[in-house]
């Protein structure tokens, strides 16, 4: 029985990056042998075991045979005579198809180390086309490594185009699409991953609402970059640069979906795009089963980003209406995320990345002043029900108005 360190741990070590977790492949063993040595079985679809001391995952070397459409259309075969080289050959990218023996020797049958040095993401074999999830994974890896100078090999992009055109992506379950999208969004260069999905034709299949934004013009007075899709990617990259949480990044990606629904006769204006975007976001989130907290923030961003941008010119009454409608008094943390989305939106315009955004402070001050307002016992005297709420609202309004005094 031989044990090898494989995959991301080998790749990241060669790149000089921190190794988050280590995965191992076991060659020449059976499940019974591993259990006899104290390993705990945890795999459902193929034999994966936890080491009795380190608790790191150890998988038996295996083969995969395509039997049907989609990423679930595989039969996994494992046996003591499956070699390390056969196990590595089923992997997606050459940089993920390396192994390291316990003595430190590198096993690299597909040139992964050379591709690391070239900064190239390249598929291992033509079998790459058998698993449609790999399109999303490559986009995620590009989002992770683009800032280090990585790009995708031309022949790999061509295979991704063929896969997109084949209909294989239609077999992906919604939860898997969301899981890969969520992981892509938290990487350092998420725009690179989205651009790759668009280049290979996958974006129009998995996120047609987002793909529809490209080619939709905006007024150059407010958006020097003009193209709505480019604006969204600029804003997304601003969010990444500010280390925003995934909820904010997703909302940034969604906030302008309504512009794709503006009648062409109205271009480049997009009157009421905020409301038009709401059903599009609801439909997308339902289809991909996006977590509720992400969906809710995206909906708030669509509805209120224009109001927030106009914060310096809004009357106190309108400021209060926005705070109330966005549930800012009960959910101040979520409202802070909404303001972060809006700031990323404002900075995500050509030439605006470093411009100040005082509207945020205006809403923060209004929320702070209104939240600090309470009714004293004598102010509540004789009031019941809605009348108490109305008295508190008037006092909050006065507190916001006093900010300009």
Has residue 228 been placed in a domain? no
**Between residues 62 and 218, which one has the greater pLDDT?**
218
Are 166 and 182 in a shared domain? yes
For position 107, which CATH number holds? 3.30.460.10
Q: By three-state DSSP, how is residue 190 classified?
A: helix
Q: Are residues 103 and 139 in the same domain?
A: no
Token pair in block for residue 232: 């969204």
Distance CA(185)–CA(232), nearest Å, equals 13
Q: Do 88 and 94 form a contact (C-beta atoms < 8 A)?
A: no
Residues 129 and 94 in one domain: no
Instruction: Render pLDDT for 111-131 as a digit per residue (tens, 0 to 9).
Output: 999 999 999 999 999 989 989
- Do 301 and 283 fall within a single domain? yes
Same domain, 27 and 104: yes
Q: Which of 7, 52, 37, 42 is nearest to 25 (CA)?
A: 7
- For the chain, percent of residues with pLDDT exceeding 90: 85
Domain extent at residue 197: 119-206
- Coil/strand/helix, residue 29: coil
Q: Are residues 361 and 388 in the same domain?
A: no
- pLDDT beyond 60 at 67: no
Q: Same domain, yes or no, for 21 and 81? A: yes
Distance between CA 220 and CA 48 in Å, rounded?
Answer: 55
Q: Same domain, yes or no, for 90 and 127? A: no
| Residue where a domain terminates, one of 95, 113, 131 | 113
Of 92, 83, 72, 74, the closest CA to residue 29 belongs to 83
Q: Please indicate, yes or no, if residue 177 is contained in any of the structural domains.
A: yes
Question: Do 179 and 145 sit in the same domain of this protein?
Answer: yes
Counts of helices then strands in the chain (DSSP H, E): 19, 11
Residue pLDDT, tens place only, 150-184: 999 999 999 999 999 998 898 888 999 999 999 99
- Of 259-268, 272-281, 372-381, the poorest mean pLDDT is in 372-381
Residue 352, domain member (yes or no): yes
CATH number of the domain where residue 187 is located: 1.10.110.30
Residues 24 and 105 in one domain: yes
Question: Is position 227 within any domain?
Answer: no
The encoded tokens of residue 201 equal: 């034709």
Number of domains into which the chain is organized: 4
Domain shared by 254 and 359, yes or no: yes
pLDDT at 270 > cutoff 70: yes
Q: Is 217 contained in some domain?
A: no
> How far lies 161's CA from each of 154, 165, 360, in Å?
11, 6, 42
Q: Is the peptide bond before 139 cis (omega within 30 degrees of 0)?
A: no
pLDDT (average), residues 209-224: 97
Q: Kindly tell me if the per-residue pLDDT of 303 is higher than 60.
A: yes
Looking at the structure, tell me whether residues 56 and 109 fall in a common domain. yes
Classify residue 227 by its DSSP letter: B
Handedness of CA 194, 198, 201, 203 (dihedral sign): positive
Lowest mean pLDDT among 50-54, 188-192, 384-388: 384-388
pLDDT of residue 70: 53
Residue indicated by tokens 């790149």: 15
């Amino acid at each position: 029985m031989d044990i090898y360190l494989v995959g991301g741990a080998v790749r990241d070590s060669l790149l000089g990056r921190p190794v988050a977790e280590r995965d191992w492949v076991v060659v020449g063993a059976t499940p019974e042998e591993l259990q006899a040595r104290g390993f705990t079985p945890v795999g459902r679809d193929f034999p994966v075991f936890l080491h009795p001391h380190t608790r790191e995952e150890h998988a038996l070397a295996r083969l995969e045979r395509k039997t049907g459409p989609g990423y679930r259309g595989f039969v996994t075969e494992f046996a003591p005579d499956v070699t390390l080289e056969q196990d590595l050959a089923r992997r997606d990218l050459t940089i993920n198809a390396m192994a390291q023996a316990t003595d430190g020797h590198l096993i690299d049958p597909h040139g992964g180390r050379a591709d690391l040095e070239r900064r190239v993401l390249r598929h291992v074999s033509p079998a790459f086309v058998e698993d449609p999830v790999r399109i999303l994974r490559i986009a995620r890896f590009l989002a992770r490594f683009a800032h280090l100078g990585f790009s995708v090999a031309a022949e790999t992009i061509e295979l991704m185009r063929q896969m997109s055109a084949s209909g294989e992506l239609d077999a992906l379950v919604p939860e898997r699409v969301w899981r890969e999208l969520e992981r892509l969004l938290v990487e350092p260069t998420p725009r690179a991953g989205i651009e790759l999905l668009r280049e290979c034709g996958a974006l129009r299949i998995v996120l047609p609402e987002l793909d529809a934004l490209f080619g939709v013009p905006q007024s150059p007075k407010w958006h020097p970059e003009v193209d709505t899709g480019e604006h969204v990617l600029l804003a997304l990259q601003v969010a990444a640069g500010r280390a925003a949480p995934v909820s904010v990044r997703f909302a940034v990606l969604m906030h302008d979906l309504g512009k794709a629904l503006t009648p062409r006769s109205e271009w480049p204006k997009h009157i009421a795009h905020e409301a038009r975007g709401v059903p599009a976001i609801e439909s997308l989130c339902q289809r991909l089963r996006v977590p509720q907290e992400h969906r809710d923030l995206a909906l708030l961003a669509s509805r209120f980003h224009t109001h927030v941008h106009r914060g310096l010119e809004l009357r106190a009454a309108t400021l209060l209406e926005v705070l109330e409608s966005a549930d800012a008094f009960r959910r101040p943390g979520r409202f802070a995320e909404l303001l972060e989305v809006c700031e990323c939106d404002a900075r995500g315009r050509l030439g605006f990345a470093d411009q100040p955004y005082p509207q945020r402070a205006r809403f923060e001050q209004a929320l702070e002043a209104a939240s600090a307002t309470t009714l004293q016992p004598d102010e509540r005297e004789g009031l019941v029900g809605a009348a108490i709420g109305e008295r508190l609202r008037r006092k909050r309004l006065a507190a916001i108005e006093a900010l300009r005094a």
